[in-house]
Chain A
């Protein structure tokens, strides 16, 4: 035990001191143990020897290193001396640098002061020069030169001037200052007077000459106001002239109905031209951002003149009178609204165009200055000027009257078209459908031509209302009249009612093509038009407004589609069903419990299906001629559904032999083949149940059904429920009911 403990102890000691103490050795008595210890000691001895050899081997390297160290000793002392010397030098350099830089700073200060002094001396010299220059310029009536001197004086630093006055030469500076101020006042008065004179004399060159001087004197606002005044008088004179010409009635007959729109156009174009020609002057001499002020002055005159034109328009065209008549709808005849409405929309379109032009110009002018400088305030000012100017307000009022009048015009015209409805033979629709849509389209286009989005939206809303309630009601009532409910039994009358109904449903058919396509196409077309018209002005909000209003129109067309569907369903139940039903129930009278002989007989003389096909052919022929293809297709679809449902009911009342089932299969195939030729889409789906019934009736044995049922059905999807399959199987007289019951479906 003890020696097993000694092994790890030795390992820990890693051979430096023998871990086996003398005590342990003397305590040992067994030979084996002693030998073990001996072995252990021997190997330890070897290890120690090796260690010693290694250490002795290292002795020479250590010795060389020691020698090297001894040689380095004196060098270290040298380094220390060098270092302290370096530090001393650095300190010295540092203080030297500080000394130099202090002097440079002083020099710099002196230099700036010197510059200031020079500047001030220059200013004072300038002041003197200006004083002299102004005097001579004024004497020579060279106002531009004088203004340039004053401008120089005004741009001098006021504090500098103040300081100069405190200097030694204060008296002389004071004197020249007084002189300058006097000259400034004098020049201001002179320039104002001269400008007024030039304005009075309508001398454009002189007006422009003095107009250019104003900004030099720091009188930007005043200059623009005077100049604006001048331009306004020019405009007013021109506008007056035009208005007299317009009301004089001495114009070509062709333009006569639009004379006020033309006059307004002339006015607005005139102003636009004035702005166009004078913008460069304002920009050059007043700097960017001042066009707004000028336009504000011009707009006042524009408002005044536009108001005059509109007042004259209202008076001469009896605009308010017409509105009153419309409002009370006293007259059942439509007053002469058409030309007036057109004129109003043109006037509004012109005004919109003009205001858009102004906005573009003003904003561009602000942008030239500095894009960052277009502050919210600027934009608000522009909006305020353009949106709330009298011109806008006047136009809004005109449009406010226009909308009810246009709506009245539309409603009454539609009513008129409905009362004047004629039906031409050979034509699939009567006149009113086309007429009504022509009117509605015309009114909306006119509203669109006004360039006012709100006006357009309002008219779309009204058009929607007219179509959805008035026009739909007319069609609806027509449908109702086509169905005298008591006469449905009478086939003769049934056909005639169908014919009268055809006329009305045809009209809807036309609506289909015109209404649904046109509303959906028109929606995009309208949007395109709008995009074209309002490219500059349409924001996404306005686009959304139009889109929302148009989507209401599309909803209306869906309602018409529903009405058509409903009408056709009724047509089907009242006109087709009473005829088709007996043809199908005659199937009952043909026995399908037949043997070989009868089967062959049926082969030669068809008992039922050929007659049915002939009958259907005749019936549908009438409709095909009179109905538009879309409606005819829908109707045939309804009819085939009717046939399949009726036939199914009938078949379930019959009984079949094996050959009877085969016969039915043949009959069904020829019927489906025929119906496929008269309809444009596949009708097999509608006959799926019947085809499956024929398959069942055609089976050899009851159990054969399992070849088609469940996992064996393959691509076939059963439309019959298990119960129905049993029911059909039971129709076969040769199938035993126990077999059918036993079937696991």
Chain B
């Protein structure tokens, strides 16, 4: 990793109904553009932007997904490896807000259900305790950051979803919440930079936790950490 020109690499996946402005958000952030008349995204798009936060180079790999139903199965396959999901809706479209619980269900199903099923399905046996700890660690290390974004605040007079409602919803689901306008470039930079900060914080926290539990046989995180350095 030392050979690469960044300190951190994070995968961010944007999801949400069709037409809420995911592609525009990504374009605005990565290219500073607001392409009018943006067509529907086909499948998955992929952009990279490297930002510097407190002297550390952070490479953000942004996966912009298609909102239409027929691409859902492609989109879902990216949840598992994502570090953060940006769940986007359109503040002028009640429907896109109402679909959020469905999106959350989907995230729950595809993000790391594997780990959960193992935890449940495991028999009680001699070393069950160890296993639970290592699995719990695993869940923790895959802690996914969720951000709820209400886009298109430039169309304030057509607003259908009140800010308070969205804030309450986000809080209940322990998500971060932000309102943006890709068109006016409101909060777009802030969205991605705040997220990058949060991801760095999380990554540092994980490193600490893993170092604490290093002697624990199970996950062998320290070994992996070392061998990572050796490989590169």
Where the two chains meet, the residues of A that have a C-beta atom closer than 8 Å to any C-beta of B are 383-384, 387-388, 392-393, 396-397, 399-404, 407, 452-455, 457-459, 461-462, 464-465, 469-470, 473, 480, 484-485, 541, 544-545, 548, 552, 558-559, 561-563, 565-566, 570
Judging by beta carbons under 8 Å apart, are A548 and B74 in contact?
A: no
Q: Please tell me if B228 contacts chain A, counting CB pairs below 8 Å.
A: yes
| B46 neighbours in A (Cβ, 8 Å) | 541, 544-545, 548
Q: B71 contacts the other chain (Cβ, under 8 Å)?
A: yes
Q: Is B211 an interface residue (CB 8 A)?
A: no
Cβ contact of B77, chosen from A453, A462, A563, cutoff 8 A: A462
- Within 8 Å by CB of A454, from B43, B115, B227, lies B43
Q: A531 to B76: give the CA distance in the assembly, Å.
A: 26
* A residues in contact with B115, CB < 8 Å: 469
Report the separation of the CA atoms of residues A559 and B126 in the bound assembly, to the nearest whole angstrom: 25
Contacts of B131 in A (CB 8 A): 480
Shortest B208–chain A CB gap in Å is: 19
- Asked whether, in the complex, the Cβ of A400 is within 8 Å of the Cβ of B74, the reply is yes
B220 to chain A minimum Cβ distance, whole angstroms, is: 4
Q: A485-B127, A566-B217 are in contact. List 20 more A-B contacts (CB 8 A).
A: A383-B39, A388-B40, A396-B43, A396-B70, A396-B71, A400-B71, A401-B73, A404-B73, A407-B77, A457-B77, A458-B76, A458-B78, A465-B80, A544-B46, A558-B224, A559-B224, A562-B227, A563-B220, A565-B220, A566-B220
Please, how many residues of chain B have a CB less than 8 angstroms from a CB on the other chain?
33
A565 touches B227 (CB 8 A): yes
B118 to chain A, nearest CB (A): 6
Tell me whether B61 and A548 are in contact (CB under 8 A): yes
Residue B156 at the A interface, CB < 8 A? Answer: no
Contact B224 A403, beta carbon cutoff 8 Å: no
Query: B43's contact among A402, A453, A559, by CB below 8 Å, is which?
Result: A453
**Proximity string of chain B (208-223) to chain A, C-beta cutoff 8 Å, 1 when within and 0 when not:** 0000000001001001
Minimum CB–CB distance from A545 to chain B (whole Å) comes to: 5
- Chain A contacts for B76, CB-based, 8 A: 458
Q: Which residues of B contact A396 (CB under 8 A)?
A: 42-43, 70-71
A400 touches B70 (CB 8 A): yes
Q: Which residue of B lies closest to A546 (CB)?
A: B46
In the bound complex, residues from chain A placing their C-beta under 8 Å from that of B69 are 400
Task: Tell yes or no: B114 within 8 A of A by CB.
Answer: yes
Q: How many pairs of residues, A versus B, come closer than 8 Å at their CB atoms?
A: 92
Report which of B39, B118, B220 forms a contact with A388, defined as CB distance below 8 A.
B39
Q: From B80, which residue of chain A is reached at the shortest CB distance?
A: A465
* A394 (CB) vs chain B CBs: closest residue: B70
Cα of A483 to Cα of B211 in the assembled complex, Å: 25
Q: Is the CB of B39 within 8 A of A403?
A: no
**A400-B71, A470-B114, A545-B44 known; A464 and B81 CB under 8 Å?**
yes
A559-B224, A565-B223, A565-B227 given as contacts; is B74 within 8 A of A484 (CB)? no
What's the Cα separation between A390 and B134 when bound, in Å? 49
Assembly CA distance A438 to B231 (angstroms): 27
Which of B77, B80, B220: most chain A Cβ within 10 A?
Answer: B77
User: Which of A454, A457, A484, A548 counts the most chain B CB atoms within 10 A?
Assistant: A454
Contact of A397 among B70, B80, B114, B217 (CB under 8 A): B70
Residue contact B114 to A469, C-beta cutoff 8 Å: yes
Closest beta carbon of chain B to A323's beta carbon, Å = 10
- Which residues of chain A come closer than 8 Å to B48, judged between CB atoms? 544
Contact B39 A552 (CB under 8 A): no
Which residue in chain A gives the minimum CB-CB distance to B127?
A: A480
- Contacts A465-B80, A562-B223, A562-B224 given; indicate if A455 touches B74 (C-beta within 8 A): yes
Q: Are B45 and A403 in contact (CB under 8 A)?
A: no
Interface digits, B119-133 against A, CB 8 Å rule (1 contact, 0 not)?
000000011000100
Give A577 to B84 CA distance when docked, in angstroms. Answer: 44
Question: B72: CB under 8 A from chain A?
Answer: yes
Task: Report whether A400 and B231 are in contact in the complex, using a CB–CB cutoff of 8 Å.
Answer: no
Chain A residues, Cβ within 8 Å of B126: 484-485
Given contacts A461-B80, A469-B114, A548-B61, contact A384 B43 (CB under 8 A): no
Chain A nearest CB, measured from B27 CB (Å): 13
A-B contact pairs, 25 of them (CB 8 A): A383-B39, A387-B39, A388-B39, A388-B40, A400-B71, A403-B74, A407-B77, A454-B44, A454-B74, A457-B74, A457-B77, A459-B77, A461-B78, A461-B81, A464-B80, A469-B118, A545-B46, A548-B46, A548-B61, A558-B227, A562-B224, A563-B220, A565-B220, A565-B227, A566-B223
How far, in whole Å, are A393 and B66 apart by their CA atoms in the complex?
13
Asked whether, in the complex, the Cβ of B44 is within 8 Å of the Cβ of A457, the reply is: yes
Known contacts being A548-B61, A566-B223, is A458 close to B45, with CB within 8 Å?
no
Closest chain A residue, CB of each to CB of B47: A541
Q: Which residues of A contact B118 (CB under 8 A)?
A: 469, 473
Against A, the Cβ 8 Å flags (1 = close, 0 = not) of B28-50 are 00000000000110111110100
Chain B residues closer than 8 Å to A407, beta-carbon distance? 77
Which chain B positions have C-beta within 8 A of A563?
Answer: 220
Q: Determine if B45 and A541 form an interchain contact, defined as CB atoms under 8 angstroms apart.
A: yes
Select one of B42, B61, B77, B231 contacting A461, CB under 8 A.
Answer: B77
Return the contact of B220 from the options A399, A404, A461, A562 (Cβ within 8 A): A562
Shortest Cβ distance from residue B194 to the other chain A in the assembled complex, whole angstroms: 24
Chain B residues with Cβ under 8 A from A457's Cβ? 44, 74, 77
* A-chain residues with CB within 8 Å of residue B42 when the two chains form the complex: 387, 392, 396, 454
- Report the nearest A residue to B75, measured CB to CB: A458
Q: In the complex, what residue of chain B is closest to A452 when comparing beta carbons?
A: B43
Complex Cα–Cα for A469 and B131 (A): 14
Q: Which residues of B contact A469 (CB under 8 A)?
A: 114-115, 118
- A260 CB to nearest B CB, Å: 19
CB proximity of A400 to chain B, nearest CB, Å: 4
Q: How far is the CA of A115 from the CA of B126 in the complex (A)?
A: 109
**Complex interface: chain B residues within 8 A of A388 (CB):** 39-40
Enumerate the 3 nearest inter-chain pairs by beta-carbon distance, A residue then B residue, closest first: A454-B43, A469-B114, A461-B77
Cα of A219 to Cα of B126 in the assembled complex, Å: 86
Contacts A387-B42, A469-B118, A563-B220; A403 near B73 (Cβ below 8 A): yes
Let me know if B39 and A384 touch, CB within 8 A: yes
Which residues of A lie under 8 Å from residue B127 when comparing CB positions?
480, 485
Distance, CA A548 to CA B114, complexed state (A): 22
A452 to B74, CA, bound (A): 11
Tell me which residues across on chain B come within 8 A of A462, comparing CB atoms: 77
B67 to chain A, nearest CB (A): 13
Known contacts A465-B114, A469-B118: A458-B227 contact under CB 8 Å: no
Give Cα distance in the complex from A480 to B123, angstroms.
13
B15 to chain A, nearest CB (A): 14
On chain B, the residues within 8 Å of A387 by CB distance are 39, 42
Within 8 Å CB of A544, what residues of B? Answer: 46, 48
Closest Cβ–Cβ distance, residue B207 to chain A (whole Å): 16
A563, B224: Cα distance in complex, Å: 9
**Using a CB-CB cutoff of 8 Å, which residues 56-105 of chain B contact chain A?**
61, 69-74, 76-78, 80-81
| CA–CA, A469 and B117, complex, Å | 11
- The smallest beta-carbon distance between A651 and chain B, in angstroms, is 27
Complex-state Cα separation, A452 to B43, whole angstroms: 10
The residues of A that contact B114 with a CB separation of less than 8 Å are 465, 469-470
Alpha-carbon distance A202/B166, docked complex (angstroms): 63
Assess whether A558 is in contact with B228, with CB atoms less than 8 Å apart.
Answer: yes
How many Å lie between the Cα of A464 and that of B77 in the bound state?
A: 10
If A545-B44, A558-B228 touch, whether A393 touches B73 (CB-CB below 8 Å) is no
Give the complex CA separation of A565 and B131 in angstroms.
18
Least Cβ–Cβ distance between B10 and chain A, in angstroms: 12
Instruction: Output the least CB separation between B178 and chain A (Å).
Output: 26
Question: In the complex, which residues of chain A have a beta carbon less than 8 angstroms from the beta carbon of B40?
Answer: 388
A384 to B81, CA, bound (A): 32
Task: Name the residue among B45, B74, B76, B126 with the largest chain A CB count within 10 angstroms.
Answer: B74
| Identity of the chain A residue whose Cβ is nearest the Cβ of B112 in the assembled complex | A469
Q: Most chain-A Cβ atoms within 10 A of its Cβ — which of B42, B73, B115, B126?
A: B73
